[in-house]
């Protein structure tokens, strides 16, 4: 499928920019966050943290793409991608991790090697 298409059109759940969620999000589909989420996120598909978004949560997903700000431990079964301008603090665990030029990252990287 069009997985390379940045997952955005596939995202069935969108958390808008003015939304604040305090708690747990679980799902079998993709999740795009433009707002704020605190707590825990566990999705079977892709998680996209858009620029301007703030996530303070432990994350579990297939792929995680960060353009905004993410604080917490991230486990991705497939890939973690930190875009330019993104900020991430926490441990990243995934077989493939991409950190773009300009991205900010502090934490451990575990690629299972």
Partner 1 sequence: MADKETVIGADTRISGEVRGDEDLVVRGRIDGRVQLTQNLTVEKGATVQADVDVRQLVVSGTVVGAIVASESVKLMSTARVVGDLASPRVMMEAGAAYRGRVDMGDIAAARAAVSSRVAQRPAASEKAAIRPAPPRMAMPGKVVVAGKAAAPVAPTTAARSTAPAVAGAAAPASPPAFPRVAGAMGGMAPAWAKKKIRRR
Closest approach, Cβ 14 to partner 1, in A, equals 5
User: Exposed, middle or buried: residue 57 (CB in 10 Å: 0-12, 13-18, 19+)?
Assistant: buried
- Say whether residue 78 binds partner 1 (CB under 8 A): no
With respect to partner 1, which residue has the nearer C-beta, 61 or 92? 61
Q: Which two tokens stand for residue 73?
A: 């431990």
d(CA 84, CA 24): 27
Give residues with Cβ within 8 angstroms of 56, minimum separation 6: 36, 37, 38, 39, 71, 72
- Say whether residue 34 binds partner 1 (CB under 8 A): yes
With respect to partner 1, which residue has the nearer C-beta, 37 or 70? 37
With respect to partner 1, which residue has the nearer C-beta, 16 or 102? 16
Closest approach, Cβ 98 to partner 1, in A, equals 23
Binding site for partner 1 (CB under 8 A): 11-31, 34-35, 39, 43-44
């Amino acid at each position: 499928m069009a997985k390379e298409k940045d997952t955005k059109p596939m995202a069935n759940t969108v958390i808008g920019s003015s939304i604040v969620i305090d708690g747990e999000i679980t799902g079998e589909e993709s999740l795009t966050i433009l707002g704020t989420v605190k707590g825990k996120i566990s999705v079977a598909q892709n998680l996209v943290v858009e620029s301007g978004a703030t996530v303070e949560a432990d994350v579990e997903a297939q792929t995680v793409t960060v353009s905004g700000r993410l604080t917490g431990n991230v486990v991705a079964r497939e890939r973690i991608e930190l875009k330019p301008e993104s900020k991430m603090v926490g441990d990243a665990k995934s077989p493939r991790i991409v950190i773009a030029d300009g991205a900010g990252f502090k934490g451990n990287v575990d690629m299972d090697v």
